[in-house]
Amino acid sequence: MKVAKSTTRKATSYPSLSRREVALLAEWERERRVSVTLDNIRSAVGAPVARDVASRLVAKKALERVGPGRYLVRPLRTLSRPTAPSAAVQAAVLLQGEPYYLGGLWALTFHRLTGQQYISVLDAFVARQRQSSPLGGARLAFHRVSPKRLSHGSVAADLEGMSVQVSDPERTLLDLLDFPALAGGSGQALRIVKQTLPRVDHAKLVEDAAKGARSSTCQRLGVLLERGGTPFRRLAALYEQALKTKSVLSMDASALRKGPVNQRWRVVENDR
């Protein structure tokens, strides 16, 4: 005679966690929280013990502290195995509540505009001064820009259950031209932009550049787009922005200033 198998499931136990801690984590999981603040913990357990609860959960690796009073929540099902949230997710938790976007070379990799895996440095564009620091196996580098720049040119991406603001492909290229140090210098930035230019929306690139990119970026971009066959009538907004300066600049600021001068864009074409 066959013995019927029991269908009763055993309750999952978490030896290192107290009942209150399990209940707290389970509640956050039901609410689909990826991150919490110290204020959230105070609301759940009371102000007198909130810091102790947070410290214990960090010690038990149920929470990961990413900044003052800000924590990533690990799902209960993952506590039995080693996991590590990405630097991008940790940065998003750190910057919650303020305008920002993540960009630079990391964004090139994220948007698959390059086969290179740029993960050692994460560039965050923010409205207020912040100190760069190590984060999640990468170096988080902050770049203070105007609030206007942060108001367009980024998209919300879902990473590991967290909404992360990332520069869109067009903004990513404009940032490399505006801030060539992101790529290691003007020559390298220009080479990357040339390689990836065919893979982005040129109309949007012109529109975004005209909203506030540097005049030098508009000059160089105008040359590159005309080389690629873009009619001048589609570059009118870009040209208007480029007219704000009378400077004759080099296409590659790191190379010798030798080559024909593009009279329209006032650029020495020394990159060929």
The pLDDT confidence band at residue 2, using thresholds 50, 70 and 90, is: very low
Q: What is the pLDDT of the chain when averaged over all its residues?
A: 90
Please tell me whether residues 183 and 246 are part of one structural domain. yes
Span 216-230, average pLDDT:
97
Tokens 């040339």 correspond to 194
Do 128 and 58 lie in one domain? The reply is no
CA-based torsion, 220, 223, 228, 230: positive or negative: positive
Q: How confident is the model over 160-172, as pLDDT tens digits?
A: 888 999 999 999 9
**Considering the domain boundaries, does residue 203 fall inside one?**
yes
Are residue 258 and residue 235 in the same domain, yes or no? yes
Say if residue 262 is in the same domain as residue 184: yes
Range 181-201 average pLDDT:
96
For residue 14, being part of any structural domain is answered with: no
**Do 183 and 147 sit in the same domain of this protein?**
no
**pLDDT at residue 174 greater than cutoff 90:** yes
Token representation of residue 97 = 């509540």
* Residue 41 counted as domain residue: yes
CATH of the domain at 33: 1.10.10
How many domains, in total, are found in the chain? Answer: 3
* pLDDT band of 137, cuts 50, 70, 90: confident
Cβ contacts of residue 241 below 8 Å, gap of 6+? 209, 210, 213, 215, 218
> Mind giving me the DSSP string for 176-212?
HHH-GGGGTSHHHHHHHHHHHGGGS-HHHHHHHHHTT
Residue 13: which pLDDT band, with cuts at 50, 70 and 90?
Answer: low
One domain for residues 144 and 187:
no
Mean pLDDT of 20-37: 89
| Domain boundary residue, one of 167, 190, 217 | 167
Range of the domain at 138: 87-167
3-state SS of 152-181 is CCEEEEEECCEEEEEECHHHHHHHHHHCHH
Last residue of some domain: 56, 78, 100? 78
Answer whether residue 68 shows pLDDT above 80.
Answer: yes
Clarify whether residues 221 and 259 are in a common domain.
Answer: yes
Residues 261 and 181 in one domain: yes
Query: Is 5 a member of any domain?
Result: no
Say whether pLDDT at 11 is over 80.
Answer: no
Give me the residue label for tokens 């994460």. 122
